[in-house]
Amino acid sequence: MSQPAMSPKRLFRLVAVTEAVTWAMLLTGMVLKYGTETTELGVRIGGMVHGVVFIAYCLTTVVVGVDQRWPLRRTLLGLVSAVPPFVTVWFDLAGEKRGWFGDSWRLRTEAGSGPVEKVTAWLVSKPLQGLAAGVVAVAALTGVALLVGPPAS
C-alpha cells in the first residue's frame, strides 16, 4: 500500500516553509518602505501574501493537530509559532524530530469522534473537496481581515 501523496508531515512542512518565505517577503518590503524609503509596494504585496498564507498555516495547523491527536498546548504552540518571523520552520523541524507528524492521515481510516474530528475526517478523506473547502475558508477569513482593516502602521 502506498503512502498518500500529501501526508500530514509533507503538508505541514510545505505550509510552514511557505509561511516563513512570506515573512521574508514582508520584512524585505518593510526594509524598502521604512529603511530605504523607496517604495511601499513590497509591504502591500508581501503583506497581503503573508496574510493569506498565515491564515492557511493556522488552518493547516488545526487540521494536522486534530488528525494527529495533538494536545491543545502543542496546537496552540503551533499557532503561536506563526507570529514571530520564521518560527514555523523551527516548529516543523522540532515536530519532525519528536514524531509529531505522521506519514498518513489517521482520520482517513478512523471514524472521527465529536464534531471537530468528523469535519477534519471529511476534509482529509476527500482531498479535493478538502482543498476546495480550505481555499474557501482562507478566502473568507482573508475577506474578514480586509473588512476589519490592516494592522496599524
Cα→Cα distances 116→8, 60, 111, 113, Å:
17, 14, 12, 8
Domain membership flag for residue 143: no
Q: What is the pLDDT of residue 3?
A: 47
Domain membership flag for residue 86: yes
User: What CA dihedral angle connects 133, 20, 87 and 36, to 10 degrees?
Assistant: -130
- Domain span holding position 58: 8-105
Q: What is the pLDDT of residue 146?
A: 87
Q: What is the pLDDT of residue 152?
A: 66
Length of the chain: 153
Domain membership flag for residue 72: yes
Domain count, the chain: 1
Q: What is the pLDDT of residue 7?
A: 94
Give, for all 153 residues of the chain, the pLDDT tens digit: 454 478 999 999 999 999 999 999 999 999 999 999 888 888 888 989 999 999 999 999 999 999 999 999 999 999 999 999 999 999 999 999 999 999 999 999 988 899 999 999 999 999 889 999 999 999 999 999 888 886 665
Q: What is the pLDDT of residue 1?
A: 46
Nearest C-alpha neighbor of 86 from the set 12, 17, 15: 17
Domain membership flag for residue 114: no
All 3 cell numbers of residue 42? 513590497
Domain membership flag for residue 96: yes
Q: What is the pLDDT of residue 151?
A: 65
Q: What is the pLDDT of residue 5?
A: 73
Domain membership flag for residue 77: yes
- Taking the C-alpha atoms of residue 118 and residue 130, their distance in angstroms, rounded to an integer, is 13
Domain membership flag for residue 121: no
Q: What is the pLDDT of residue 144?
A: 92
Domain membership flag for residue 60: yes
Q: What is the pLDDT of residue 42?
A: 83
